[in-house]
Amino acid sequence: MDISLIIFASGVVFGGGCAIIAANKNRDPLGWFALGFFFSFIALIVIAALSPADKSSPGDQNRSRRRQAGGDFAANPEDPERPWLG
């Protein structure tokens, strides 16, 4: 068996493992597949040690909720007597 085939197969296996773990931790699976393919066991240890990523911050959710509400008034105003201040 050729050594390059063994290196390629191990890269695919480690890349796939990194991608699966990254997807479960809300991280970029394609990027982690590439890192796992080139750095194999080291990338697998790093992604396993990382904590899950936050999908978005609460400030981003408030901004998107205001955009989706439509109209001139804020969906959840700070001051109920003056909703235009939002």
Digit-coded pLDDT (tens) for 27-48: 999 999 999 999 999 999 999 9
The pLDDT of residue 74 is 54
Cβ-contact 77, 71 below 8 angstroms:
no
How large is the average pLDDT for residues 36-64? 81
Domain range summary for the chain, segments of one domain joined by +: 1-54, 56-86
pTM for the model: 0.61
Question: What does the pLDDT read at residue 64?
Answer: 53
Could you give the CA distance from residue 66 to residue 62 in angstroms, rounded to a whole number?
Answer: 6
Residue 65 CA, distance from chain mean position: 21
